[in-house]
Chain A
Amino acid sequence: MQPILKVNLTTGETSEYVIPVELERDYLGGASLAARLLYPVLTRDLDPVSPESPILFLNGPLSGTAGPAVGRFVVCGKSPATGLWAESNCGGFWGPELRFCGYDGLWINGKADRPVYLWLNNRKLEVRDAAAVWGKDMYESQSIIKSEIGLPGAHVLTIGPAGENGVLFAGLYCDHGRAAGRTGLGAVAGSKNLKAIAVKGTQKIPIARPELFAPLRSASNHFLKEDTVTQVAHELGTAGVADYADYLGGTPKKYFHQGFFEGVDKVSGSTMAETILVGVSACHACVIACGRVVRLEDGEKRKGPEYETIVGFGPNLLNDDLAAIVRLGEVCDRYGMDVISASNTIGLAYHLYENGVITEKDTGFPLRWGDVTGAERLLHLMARREGIGNFMADGSRRFAAHFGAEEEAVQVNGLEVAYHDPRGVSGMALVYATSPRGACHNKSDYFLVDWGQAETSLGLKFFERHAGAEKAANVARHQDWRSACDSLVLCLFANVPAEMVAGLVNAACGYDCSVDDLLRCGERGWNLKRAINNRMGLTRGNDKLPKALLEPLADGPVAGFAPDLESMLLAYYSARGWDPVTGRPTREKLCALGLEDVAKDLWG
């Protein structure tokens, strides 16, 4: 891999960090490598918004090549929302452009004495004054910085006002609303007075065996283009699965408290395609192009919503107005707030309002299911930390706790649950309870496996959607694969055979690794992140689900079912080689993965 550029914003010093070859091989890149590099500094005492708190942007060995769906980078650190491992990856063109600069990562520490943005032109770094963009929204900031730079082809990653104001679910955004939304790393950047990072490079990405890589990446892209899942994502966007998810009872409604909502059909990816869709957008070199471009009544073309936005501002609030969902998603993007956490926390506000826990005295206006005018006002209040929004900006767990109702928040370890209900797809119960970053649907998109994407080449089996402990080992294996994908920073929608991915890695890096080797790397990364969280205070008791997800729904396609999390967890710990009492990876497991130093730290 290429070096990582280290930048200290306090002193202005920079240096190059050359990644040891053995770390490249053992961790591949991306999130797992970030976990290895940050392991020494991610301690329980580290304040995530202090100058000492690192923020590490990393690519993978395929990033920026012409391989299948490899336009993503990852950003990692300590989450101000959860106090645990923070990780969020993002598409667009920024990550590849960073590689074109000759760096595979940016490792930022310190705090600037005034708002700044970084401008990396190939290997030349400038720290520039950001006074002109501080306070500006995400799209405005990108536009102004691009104009200041004046160099065509530059890409800008920026925070919005939410990151500046320390909203704990603020993200980082590039290109046409591509987001590293989860775990609040936008607030970490904001705490460093770091508004944005612009990059433009002209260098070639190193490929170890180009003669092997070229035909393989061509074949894999053709393969991907013909795939039916790709065609769904291309034609309908990620919300293309909304109809099917609802049919199987996987779409949350009324803040996870209702199983049926008549208006679901009006806000699906299919409906969007047949009404307001006017184009698509793609990340670097991607044949899927899942991004949506829509036109509303004002005639302006704008980013269309993906699945999580549609459900979060749609059925979650009993709203069936697709145009309103588009606008609420845009408000989030402009402020630089994660749509899942923002819409989930708003759903909680509606829920607490309905149950009299909060009243109009707290909000200043009524909150009625199906009426999203209140939701839009709450978004503004959250981003500006005004009124009740000041509490909501700390995320659903702290917001609910402030009003004495913590158990009502649908979150795990401080990260709001995404919109794949484990009562519809039981594998998500384990995924949410054990994800290294809280209730995340991407560290394993196991809902797809529960629907049928059980890749036999990965050793995955197909279990009934409501199966229990018997699918625990399957979930762990899928997490290992996705952990490997997060190391490669491979888009989860790249539905190509695992053997093809291994072939691309081998050609790019000069390795000779098998799918099992990739799974092993994934398992190593997963256990390392677990150990980081253990050191930061995570215990067996943190592996849990919120009350709402353990209670059966009264109506809808999965009425009467709730996952038996406890039995699933016991089977999961056994499959993982984790201690069922403490929830920690055992010494034997850590040593078997080559993590002897971590075993010593955890077990003495």
Chain B
Amino acid sequence: MAIIFPSPEWLQSLFDKLNSDERYAQIARNWEGDMCVVIEPSGPLTEQHIYYLDLWHGKCRKTETLKDLFSVKSKFVLTATYENISHIMKGELDPMQAMMTRKLQVHGSMAYMMRNVPTVLDFVRCCREVTTEIL
């Protein structure tokens, strides 16, 4: 079955992936922190989507679709337009390139982020691997 990004099914599929992927479990074994992924409307996406993920020691403890960012204070907030995040999901845009060319905004502790870039990159790999279809 095609898993369309973004959708509740995609988020559930990512939750399952993060809790079963051995490579992610190893690389992210020291990661402690939740994050919100904010997808700004562009192209076919007409509404903002916000996904919450509670990531802890190589597992995902919880996911949730949020209506806004006021209801939760996460360690990190990643923001990109739907167009740019689609390019990342399809493997057409490197996540570091996106960050360094202003296509992906990251808010949170930069010290923690820079120390854990391998975890972030492997998280993106998991996202890509559960994405079979873009909206």
Contact = CB atoms under 8 A, between A and B. Distances in A.
B111 A273 contact: yes
Contacts of A247: 117-118
A60 interface: no
A231 B106 contact: yes
Given A227-B102, A228-B104, A451 B114 contact: no
Nearest to B78: A228
A599 B110 CA distance: 49
A497 B101 CA distance: 9
B19 interface: no
B100 A453 contact: yes
B104 A462 contact: no
Given A244-B117, A270-B111, A451-B100, A228 B105 contact: yes
Given A243-B115, A247-B117, A247-B118, A231 B102 contact: no
A362 interface: no
Contacts of B42: none
Q: Top 7 nearest A-B pairs by Cβ distance?
A: A452-B97, A270-B111, A452-B96, A453-B100, A235-B110, A452-B100, A228-B106
Interface in B91-117: 94, 96-102, 104-107, 109-112, 114-115, 117
A455 to B, nearest CB: 6
A462 B94 contact: yes
A228 B96 CA distance: 11
Contacts of A235: 109-111
Contacts of A454: 97, 101
A31 to B, nearest CB: 25
B85 to A, nearest CB: 15
Contacts of A241: 114
24 contacts: A223-B102, A227-B102, A232-B114, A235-B111, A236-B111, A236-B114, A240-B110, A240-B111, A241-B114, A244-B117, A269-B111, A269-B114, A274-B111, A448-B100, A451-B100, A452-B94, A452-B96, A452-B97, A452-B98, A453-B97, A455-B101, A462-B94, A495-B100, A497-B102
Interface of B: 94, 96-102, 104-107, 109-112, 114-115, 117-118
A381 interface: no
A451 B115 CA distance: 15
Contacts of B112: 270
A226 B112 CA distance: 18
Nearest to B97: A452
Interface in A174-227: 223, 226-227
Contacts of B107: 231
A358 interface: no
Contact of A495 (B94, B102, B114, B115): B102
Given A270-B114, A270-B115, 13 more contacts: A227-B105, A231-B106, A232-B110, A232-B114, A236-B111, A236-B114, A240-B110, A243-B117, A270-B110, A273-B111, A274-B111, A451-B96, A497-B102
Interface of A: 223, 226-229, 231-232, 235-236, 240-241, 243-244, 247, 265, 268-270, 273-274, 448, 451-456, 462, 495, 497
Contact of B99 (A236, A243, A452): A452
B111 A452 contact: no
A434 to B, nearest CB: 23
B72 to A, nearest CB: 21
Contacts of B94: 452, 462
A240 B114 contact: yes
Contacts of B106: 228, 231
A229 B100 contact: yes
Given A228-B99, A495-B102, A268 B110 contact: no
Contacts of A495: 100, 102
A228 B106 CA distance: 6
B9 to A, nearest CB: 30
> Which of B106, B115, B118 has most chain A Cβ within 10 Å?
B115
A91 to B, nearest CB: 21
A226 B102 CA distance: 9
A321 to B, nearest CB: 19
> Which of A236, A269, A270, A497 has most chain B Cβ within 10 Å?
A270
Contacts of A243: 114-115, 117
Contacts of A455: 101
A228 B46 CA distance: 25
B117 A228 contact: no
A462 B115 CA distance: 23
B100 to A, nearest CB: 4
A135 B96 CA distance: 47
B114 A231 contact: no
A270 B105 CA distance: 19
Given A228-B105, A244-B117, A462-B94, A236 B110 contact: yes
B101 A231 contact: no
> Which of A228, A232, A448 has most chain B Cβ within 10 Å?
A228
A231 B99 CA distance: 11
Contacts of B97: 452-454, 462
A115 B11 CA distance: 71
B29 to A, nearest CB: 16
